[in-house]
Amino acid sequence: MIAERTSSRKRSIVKALTYRGVIVCLDFLAIYLFTGKIEVAIGFMIVSNLYTTVGYFVHERIWARVRWGAAATETQRTRLPPVDGRVDDVDGGARLTLTARDPADAPALRAYLDTLLHHIDTERRVSP
């Protein structure tokens, strides 16, 4: 199967927290420069960053589902059709035979396997 990059919930949480860390510092600095009061700056910083962190997380999860403007991945373009498989013993090794259940899906199976082999070949050339 071809690996596909997606944003996990854990990644979204970490991104939200690191972003909020930067914003906490900026909020404190801005409010302190405007008011000259540390207590006011700290209070605003805490309250503001609690609700905006939740808002950012929700926004991030919504955008993780939006496909507009995102390039299609190889697995989105090429899906494995239903197949039947068989493994045969060949000279001490193994041979995997895949057959499309519907003969009309044979070109889609071939395209999927070509894409998979291309990715394997690319990984071999990139990896030491």
Question: Where exactly are the structural domains of the chain?
Answer: 9-65, 78-126
Record the tokens describing residue 52, joined without a space. Answer: 């905006």
Burial of residue 27 (CB within 10 Å: 0-12, 13-18, 19+) is buried
Residues 22-77 have pLDDT tens digits of 888 999 999 999 999 999 999 998 888 888 878 888 898 898 888 777 765 554 55
- pTM (2 d.p.): 0.40
